[in-house]
Amino acid sequence: MTNICKSFGKAENKVDVLKDVSLTIEQGEFVAILGPSGSGKTTLMNLIGLIDTIDSGDYLLDGVNIHDHSENGYAKIRNEKIGFVFQKFNLISKYTALYNVALPILLRGASYKAAKQKATETLKRVGLGDRTHHRPNQLSGGQQQRVAIARALVGECPLILADEPTGALDQKTGKEVLSFMQELNQEGKTIVIITHDEGIAAQAERIIYVEDGAIKQDTGKRAAVRT
C-alpha cells in the first residue's frame, strides 16, 4: 500500500480516517496492526481485505494493482486470496458448521460433494470433526471461532485477516486460537491480526502501530514473543 487515503462523509461532515498510509507486508509474515478504538485500524483491515475501497493511493496485492477492479472483481479476489476471521465469528446461524465452511468453495463453483469433503477435512484439522452437523448456537464460542478459522482455511487462501479474533473468547481459548494462528503462519500463511490488545500483538513477528489514521511505528520483522 502506498499513500492510501480514506475518508467518510462529505463537506463539513467529512472525516479523514486514513491519511497517506504506506506499508508493505511480505508473503509469510505474521503482522499485528495495533491501535486504540477509532485509530483507523479496522478501516485499514477493510481496505486490505477489499471489504471497502480506497479513495486514493495504490494497493498492490500479489503485484497486481487492485484499485480499478469492479465489485465482482473484488469478490473474486477475496474468495481466492483472503480468508477472514472476525471477533463475532460471522457464521450463518441457520447453517451447520459443515455448510458454513463449505460456502467459500461452493461459491467458486465446486460441486457439493467436493465442497463437503474439503469442509469435513478442514473441520477435522481444527478439532471439530465431531461437530460438523452442529449449528452455531450449538457450539461454544471457541468452537464457533474454530469453525470461522476453518472457513478461512478451506479455500487455501494465502492471506488470513483476523479482526480481534480472541475478543469474544475467554483467555484460555483465546490463547489456543492464537497458537493455531502461529501454526498456520509456520506453514506459510500470511497472517494479519487487527487488535487493540498489546499482549495479543506481542505474539506477532511484527507490530504496526496505528493512531489517528496514520502509522506511528512499525517494528519491522522480529523474533516473535511466545508465551
List C-alpha distances in Å: 170 to 137, 166, 214. Answer: 17, 8, 31
Domain assignment present for residue 39? The answer is yes
pLDDT of 222 reads 57
- Asked if 36 and 25 touch (Cβ cutoff 8 Å), the reply is no
pLDDT of 173 reads 86
Alpha helices in 49-170 (DSSP H): 71-81, 97-106, 112-125, 141-154
Length of the chain (residues): 227
Domain assignment present for residue 171? The answer is yes
| Domains in the chain, number | 1
Phi, psi at 88, each rounded to 5° = -100, 20
Domain assignment present for residue 116? The answer is yes
Of 171, 172, 119, whose CA–CA distance to 149 is shortest? 119
Q: Looking at residue 91, which CATH number applies to its domain?
A: 3.40.50.300
Domain assignment present for residue 13? The answer is no
Euclidean distance between CA atoms 72 and 186, whole angstroms = 32
The reported pTM is 0.87
Of 197, 183, 194, whose CA–CA distance to 153 is shortest? 183
Alpha helices in the chain (DSSP H): 41-48, 71-81, 97-106, 112-125, 141-154, 171-186, 198-201
Euclidean distance between CA atoms 131 and 159, whole angstroms = 26
Domain assignment present for residue 19? The answer is no
Q: Return the half-sphere exposure (C-beta side, CA atoms, 13 A cut-off) of residue 146.
A: 24
Q: Which residues pair with 163 in a beta bridge?
A: 86, 194
Which letter does DSSP use for residue 127 in this model?
T
- 3-class SS at 21? strand
Domain assignment present for residue 118? The answer is yes
Domain limits at 106?
29-54+74-218
Which letter does DSSP use for residue 74 in this model?
H
Domain assignment present for residue 14? The answer is no
Question: In tens digits, what is the pLDDT along the chain, a chain of 227 residues?
Answer: 999 999 999 888 899 999 999 999 999 999 999 999 899 999 999 999 999 999 999 999 988 888 777 888 888 888 899 999 988 889 999 999 999 999 999 998 999 999 999 999 999 988 999 999 999 999 999 999 999 999 999 989 999 999 988 888 888 888 888 888 898 999 999 999 999 999 999 999 999 999 999 999 999 865 444 43
Which letter does DSSP use for residue 223 in this model?
P
